[in-house]
Each structure stands twice: as structure tokens, then as C-alpha cells.
Chains A and B, each alone.
Chain A
């Protein structure tokens, strides 16, 4: 029972990192990315490749995957952020689809549809981490600093600039803020930190394949952020815990048809999204009215 809980807790932490980083750009910068799973995947594949060919050390593999994801997001963001909100959604949707195709075809790096198997356990100071408790501690050790970093950034002038851009891009521009640079920087930070989650995921499962990085995952992450409450600090965490526990919760409800649990889960969070948007757009944690903070 303990191992099952540890397993769930670890996956919740990994997904929480993704939700927090998505919230960073969605809730605060107003950048609506539906391709977050791609950066998750880039981080995972980079860490897998690096650890299998060079070194499985935590302090090398994770920065490498952050670098790769950050660079990729930089290259993509620079042109894409020049366009308005809804065009960015379309572009990120396109990126999601294209990313999946690349993951499926670049067989030498990603193993194609078969995925990458045999990823070695991550090493911390020469000690391989295979014990689930230790891995959970490691994951928490990554989640907390990321939470801290995003917190600090949001309270700083950078954070205020982000909110200004979210609320009114033209006004921010009029004030002399370099909107393009700030938006690009926030996307790079978000993607690089999402890659950390990817690296942890790869080390945890020991096997990754493209099925974990498809549109469904991006949608689930978006649902976590929105249901929890965009633009809040606790929101993404609440959303993550809720949505990750849903399938387990439903599977314990013996009166629900076992074959339809997956569908019921999706209906549950789909409906939650609709109802929340009608009655409480700021999500569970968010305040009743669209706040300014």
C-alpha cells in the first residue's frame, strides 16, 4: 500500500511541476500554450539520451535537458510570440501535433513509436537512486525549488511586467516595456523548468514513449491549471492533486462500470472546466471576481 501511495505521490509531484510552469505563462503572462507536453517530452528524451550515452548524474542530465528545452522554446517563441493570443493558440496546437510526429519519427533519438527502454536510474553523487522513497524525496527536492523560483520571479518586477502584459499588452507596450523580450523569457523559463519534470519522469519510469506526450496530456495539464485556478500560487497544485486522484477515486467506486472509468474521468474534468468557466472562471483557488493580483 505504501509503495502504491509513493508511486502516486511521485507522479503527482512531477505533474505539479508541469502545472506550475504552465500556470507561469498561462495565468500570469496570458500566453495560452497547448503544447506544454512537447517540452515535457523534450526534457524526458534529452535526459534519457544523455543518461544512456554520457552520464546518468543528476547534476549533468537535468541541466542538459533544461538547456535543450529552453533553446527549443527560444527558437519557437521568437517568431510565434509576435502574433496575438488566438494565433498563438493555433501555433501551439500545430507545434503539439508536429512535435508528436517528430517524436514518432526520429527513431535514433526517441526510439520512434517504440520508445526508449532501459533508462538507467539517476545518480546523485555517484549513488544510484532506485528506492521509491528516495526518489520521492528527490522529486520533492525539485518541486520545492521550482515553486520557490516561480514565486520569487512573480513577486519581482519581472512578475509585475508579466501581469501588465497579461492585462493589456498595448498598454504595457506604451509604457516602454519590451513586451516581446519579456514574453519570450517567460516561455523559455517555463519550458526549461518543464524539462526538469521530463527528466524526472524518464528516470522514474525507466521507459518513455510518445504516448505520454500527446495532445491529451497537454489538455490534461491545461485542465489542472484552469480547474485549480490560473494566476494563483496554490491553484496548479490543487488542480494537479485533484485530477491525478480522480482515476483512482473512480476505480474505487464499485458502482461505476469498470470499463468506462477512463471516459467518466474525462467527462468529469471536461464538465468541471465548463461549469467553472461559467460560474467561477478563476478556478477553485482563485477569488470570485477576476482579481488584479
Chain B
């Protein structure tokens, strides 16, 4: 080849290499939330937390490239969830998916296991969510812990002895019932009545009559969504004045602003909203600035889920490993403890977290903390 051609060829190659983009790859993760249907309000809540995390991560340039979240509408239904999951895994090829609602989570867990995609749940608390395989992680403490956290408070601070449980007859409700039956006697309480309701029930006048007839000190409600609001309202209307207690489901804004719910208590993960811990403080401040109100535990969970991805992915990048589901899992097992909103969180082997819990009271202003318990 003549010298000119060689220089020309070298120049071409150099030019090609300098034109080829040298920045790190962008990342996409998936989210399967109910964006329409009866539970769309949950989708709004969850995505607000996830989006804030994405914005923080991109602002900090934690990953070198841009992080974006691809949302698919699960409508909180298993079949739709599977279709959405397939789209995320096969079309967008995401390594990491945010999941919500127990039924959907269970349906997609098979796809997750088969395709080695990580799925993270930040909303459902059914104990059966712990058994969905190594690729299914739960960044929210599951129901048994919630019940165990509130019983001592109710018995000691509220002097409650007689408990009545109103629950939806699904694995979550059943596990809460089992937990109450197992833990109450030893703690000095008694479950005098357990009333199960269908998930679609709207009229609670008759059940209220039965509850009143049982004469409890406190009523534990294991429901969610619209139904719990109706239970609270109709119970109060029916003259039930006793204390109402529940799990994280009561942390939604609709319960927070419902006049009949005033004074009710519920457990959530322990998050000191006023802490000086930089991660939490930034989350709370920015959320307040953007939405004009305090965040809640659900929002923090999905913020954490996205943040967790960024932390794992950046560690993998530093070690020169590709960001795949398998590597994310391995990294999580290796690192174990993470700095998330609320403090340091440790993952157990089976992908669940144990966190300190707090008991909140509905005060119409976002809830106030009345008690905290250590890890159990």
C-alpha cells in the first residue's frame, strides 16, 4: 500500500475511534405498577418515589450514564403483570424490575427466575413473598414483623387485652391472623374474634354489629385500598369507638386525611424523617419541595429499590462486571448492608429485610410516631 493510503487508513481509524461514543452505557430498569384500574393510586405513590431516586442518581451521575425507568401497567392483575414483565425482559432487556402487589409479584416471579431478572417488591407484605426464589427480593419488612412490632405497644401503652381481627381472607390476612393467635397469649392479650371479609365487600354494617357485640379493646384491620377506608368509616358510623390498628396499608394519604381514621395506629418501617442522615434528609427535603407534603414508607421503599440498583450497578461497574440479574444478585449477597433511606438496611439470605419498626398514629397531618422497636 502507498504511504498516503496507510496514513489515510490510520487517519480513518483514528477518526472512527474518536467519533465512536466513549461515555458509559445508559441503564434502563423496569417497573410493574398498577397505572390504571382500581389501584392506580398506588401506582402513582410508588412511581413518585422511584422517579425521585432516578433523578437523584442521574444528578449525582452515579452510574456514568443515564438511568431511566420503563413503566408497564400491571393493573394489579397477574395476567397483565406477566405480559408487562415479558415486555420488559424481552423487549427492553432490563436486568432489574420493581414489582408491587402480591398476586402480580407471584405471577412474575416465575419469569424472573427463568430469565434471571431481579424483581424487587416494596409494597406487598404477604409472607409468601419470601418464598419466590433468589431473584425475588423484598425491600419491605413482611407482615409477621409488623404484627410483632405493634402488639407490645398496644398491650403496654394502650392497655389493650381484647383484640378483634377483621381481615381479607388471603395469605396476608391469614398470616396476620396466625401471628396474632401465636403472639397475643404470651404477651398478655387475647384474640376474641377473627372476622374474614371478601376482598370485594363494600357493606360492613353487619360486621360492625358483630364487632361491637364482641366488645374488644382494639380492632386490628388487615385490608387495603378502598376497602379499608370503607371499613373505617362504616365502623365509626356504627358507633364503634375503640382504637383501630393496622399494618403499613394505613400509611396511604387517603387514610391519613380521613376524619374517621383519626387516632388510629399502624406500623411502618422505622424512618426518622427528621434525621440528619444525608440520604434520608435529601430524600425528604426534595420530596417535600416537589410534592408539597411529607413522603411515606411506601414511597421510601421504592426510592430505596431504585437506589439499591444504582449502588449495586456502580459497584459492578467498578469491578468491570456487566450489569446482569445474576451479577446484581451476587453483589447484593456480597455487600449485604446498604445505606438507604431510613438508615442501614441488611438483607437476609432469602432476600428479605429486617428493619426497625415504628408505630404511627393518624393525626391528619401525615402521622406522628408514637413508639419504636428495635430489630426483631
- Listed in ascending order, the chain A residues whose CB lies under 8 Å from chain B are 1-4, 7-8, 11, 101, 104-105, 112-115, 117, 130, 205-209, 211-212, 247-248, 251, 258-263
Closest to A215 in B: B200
Q: Is the CB of A259 within 8 A of B103?
A: no
Q: Is the CB of B169 within 8 A of A113?
A: yes
Q: Is the CB of A11 within 8 A of B169?
A: no
Closest to A208 in B: B78
Q: Does B267 belong to the interface (CB within 8 Å)?
A: no
Q: Is the CB of A205 within 8 A of B82?
A: yes
Of B83, B91, B168, which one neighbours A11 at CB under 8 angstroms?
B83
A22 CB, nearest partner CB in chain B, Å? 18
Name the interface residues of B65-116: CB closer than 8 Å to any CB of A.
71-73, 75, 77-80, 82-83, 86-87, 89-91, 102-103, 106-107, 109-110, 114
Of A1, A105, A112, A207, which one neighbours B90 at CB under 8 angstroms?
A1
Q: Is the CB of B36 within 8 A of A263?
A: yes
A262 CB, nearest partner CB in chain B, Å? 3
Q: Is the CB of B78 within 8 A of A207?
A: yes
Closest to B82 in A: A205
Q: Does B286 belong to the interface (CB within 8 Å)?
A: no
Q: Does B171 belong to the interface (CB within 8 Å)?
A: yes
Closest to A204 in B: B82
Residues of A within 8 A of B102 (CB): 114
Closest to B77 in A: A211
Residues of B within 8 A of A205 (CB): 78-79, 82, 107, 110
Closest to A260 in B: B36
Q: Is the CB of A4 within 8 A of B171?
A: no
B177 CB, nearest partner CB in chain A, Å? 13
Give CA–CA (A209, B80) in the complex, Å: 13
Q: Does B278 belong to the interface (CB within 8 Å)?
A: no
Further 8 A-B residue pairs, CB within 8 A, beyond A117-B128, A211-B78: A113-B168, A115-B106, A207-B78, A207-B107, A258-B73, A259-B73, A260-B36, A262-B73
A130 CB, nearest partner CB in chain B, Å? 8
A to B CB contacts below 8 Å, 18 in the list: A3-B89, A4-B90, A104-B199, A105-B169, A113-B168, A113-B169, A113-B171, A114-B170, A117-B106, A130-B114, A205-B82, A205-B110, A248-B83, A259-B35, A259-B43, A259-B73, A261-B73, A262-B35
Residues of A within 8 A of B329 (CB): none
Residues of B within 8 A of A112 (CB): 169-171, 174
Of A3, A104, A113, A261, which one neighbours B36 at CB under 8 angstroms?
A261
Give CA–CA (A104, B174) in the complex, Å: 13
Give CA–CA (A130, B114) in the complex, Å: 10
Q: Does B243 belong to the interface (CB within 8 Å)?
A: no
Q: Is the CB of A8 within 8 A of B83?
A: yes
Give CA–CA (A111, B237) in the complex, Å: 34
Given contacts A259-B36, A263-B36, contact A7 B73 (CB under 8 A): no
Q: Is the CB of A259 within 8 A of B44?
A: yes
Residues of B within 8 A of A4 (CB): 86-87, 90-91
Q: Does B322 belong to the interface (CB within 8 Å)?
A: no
Q: Does B130 belong to the interface (CB within 8 Å)?
A: no
Residues of B within 8 A of A206 (CB): 110
Q: Does B198 belong to the interface (CB within 8 Å)?
A: yes
B80 CB, nearest partner CB in chain A, Å? 8
Of B82, B86, B90, B128, which one neighbours A114 at CB under 8 angstroms?
B128
Give CA–CA (A233, B71) in the complex, Å: 38
Residues of A within 8 A of B82 (CB): 7, 205
Residues of B within 8 A of A211 (CB): 77-79, 103
Give CA–CA (A247, B82) in the complex, Å: 14
Give CA–CA (A191, B174) in the complex, Å: 33
Give CA–CA (A118, B40) in the complex, Å: 28
Residues of B within 8 A of A2 (CB): 90
Q: Is the CB of B78 within 8 A of A7?
A: no
Q: Is the CB of B75 within 8 A of A262?
A: yes
Q: Is the CB of B199 within 8 A of A258?
A: no
Q: Does B37 belong to the interface (CB within 8 Å)?
A: yes
Name the interface residues of B216-247: CB closer than 8 Å to any CB of A.
none
Q: Does B123 belong to the interface (CB within 8 Å)?
A: no
Q: Is the CB of A104 within 8 A of B169?
A: yes
Q: Is the CB of A209 within 8 A of B78?
A: yes
Q: Is the CB of A7 within 8 A of B83?
A: yes
Q: Is the CB of B199 within 8 A of A113?
A: yes
Give CA–CA (A130, B174) in the complex, Å: 33
A46 CB, nearest partner CB in chain B, Å? 19
Given contacts A104-B169, A115-B103, A261-B35, contact A3 B73 (CB under 8 A): no
B366 CB, nearest partner CB in chain A, Å? 24
Closest to A216 in B: B77
Give CA–CA (A248, B75) in the complex, Å: 13
Give CA–CA (A248, B106) in the complex, Å: 22
Q: Is the CB of B87 within 8 A of A262?
A: no
B137 CB, nearest partner CB in chain A, Å? 17
Give CA–CA (A131, B228) in the complex, Å: 42
Q: Is the CB of B75 within 8 A of A3?
A: no
Give CA–CA (A105, B168) in the complex, Å: 11
Give CA–CA (A2, B87) in the complex, Å: 10
Q: Is the CB of B73 within 8 A of A251?
A: yes
Q: Does B126 belong to the interface (CB within 8 Å)?
A: yes
Of A104, A251, A259, which one neighbours B198 at CB under 8 angstroms?
A104
Q: Is the CB of B170 within 8 A of A258?
A: no
Q: Is the CB of A209 within 8 A of B103?
A: yes
Of B79, B109, B128, B168, which one neighbours A212 at CB under 8 angstroms?
B79
Give CA–CA (A175, B132) in the complex, Å: 60
Give CA–CA (A130, B40) in the complex, Å: 33
Give CA–CA (A113, B198) in the complex, Å: 9
